[in-house]
Chain A
Amino acid sequence: NAGVTQTPKFQVLKTGQSMTLQCAQDMNHNSMYWYRQDPGMGLRLIYYSASEGTTDKGEVPNGYNVSRLNKREFSLRLESAAPSQTSVYFCASSVEPADSGNTIYFGEGSWLTVV
């Protein structure tokens, strides 16, 4: 019953450091997402992948890169971390795009602090 698994769960970075958040789903879903959650804000989409080999920018893509490595895995990379990227990051997946009325299934979140 793994569903969507993301790592690490907690990370502290220094400004300028780089890191990659890993995400994998075992539900054979086509679409995968990276969201961030900040206090007082709704979940906001960083990047989206409709299928293996495709990625699209979301609302807040600046400072991030993504890789859809295969159908299961979708990673998020911070090349040069900034304090503004302190947030909780959620990976998610759905059978088909969420704008078609499909349910999104979320991972448990990764708490990232940039100092």
Chain B
Amino acid sequence: ILNVEQSPQSLHVQEGDSTNFTCSFPSSNFYALHWYRWETAKSPEALFVMTLNGDEKKKGRISATLNTKEGYSYLYIKGSQPEDSATYLCALPDYGGSQGNLIFGKGTKLSVKP
């Protein structure tokens, strides 16, 4: 099964700080990478699907980059707000495993203090 690593496991920042975290994955046989935002007691919400090396995606103050050759993606949050507090998950298709399966990392839990 594909190994998807996210770091750090948790992050505490002050309101207004910019922050970033990492998703690492095997660089061979890449197809797509998904980023999700998950607030406790709510549904995980899709942020981005990235497929091309060098891809950059942006949604408001959140952006993501992708390097498939070295096997990592960064998620950036500019000027963090308390409502950004959530767990951010990345996921990749499970090649050679169950069709349709995404392998999820354990997530980075972000807490933003007012």
Binds B, one of A11-19, A75-83, A99-107: A99-107
The reply to whether B106 and A59 contact each other, CB–CB distance below 8 Å, is no
Known: A42-B107, A101-B49. A107 touches B102 (CB 8 A): no
Looking across the interface, which residue of chain A has its beta carbon closest to that of B38?
A106
Tell me the smallest distance from the CB of A105 to a CB of chain B, in Å. Answer: 7
The reply to whether A59 and B46 contact each other, CB–CB distance below 8 Å, is no
Tell me the smallest distance from the CB of A40 to a CB of chain B, in Å. Answer: 7
The reply to whether A57 and B98 contact each other, CB–CB distance below 8 Å, is yes
Tell me the smallest distance from the CB of A27 to a CB of chain B, in Å. Answer: 13
Q: What 0/1 pattern do residues 13 to 47 of B give for CB contact below 8 A with A?
A: 00000000000000000011010000001111110
The docked-state distance in angstroms from the alpha carbon of A94 to that of B43 is 14
B62 at interface by CB-CB < 8 Å: no
The docked-state distance in angstroms from the alpha carbon of A98 to that of B91 is 10
The docked-state distance in angstroms from the alpha carbon of A107 to that of B49 is 19
B104 at interface by CB-CB < 8 Å: yes
The docked-state distance in angstroms from the alpha carbon of A109 to that of B44 is 9
* B residues less than 8 Å from A58 (CB atoms): 98, 101
The reply to whether A56 and B89 contact each other, CB–CB distance below 8 Å, is no
Q: How many residues of A contact B (CB 8 A)?
A: 31
The reply to whether A59 and B97 contact each other, CB–CB distance below 8 Å, is yes
* A residues less than 8 Å from B44 (CB atoms): 43, 90, 106
* A residues less than 8 Å from B31 (CB atoms): 99, 101
* A residues less than 8 Å from B43 (CB atoms): 3-4, 90, 105-109
The reply to whether A33 and B100 contact each other, CB–CB distance below 8 Å, is yes
The reply to whether A40 and B100 contact each other, CB–CB distance below 8 Å, is no
The docked-state distance in angstroms from the alpha carbon of A90 to that of B97 is 20
30 contacts between A and B (CB under 8 A): A3-B43, A33-B100, A40-B106, A42-B91, A42-B104, A42-B105, A42-B106, A44-B104, A45-B101, A48-B101, A50-B99, A56-B100, A58-B98, A59-B101, A90-B44, A94-B100, A97-B99, A98-B93, A98-B100, A99-B32, A99-B101, A99-B102, A100-B93, A101-B32, A101-B93, A104-B34, A105-B43, A106-B45, A108-B41, A109-B41
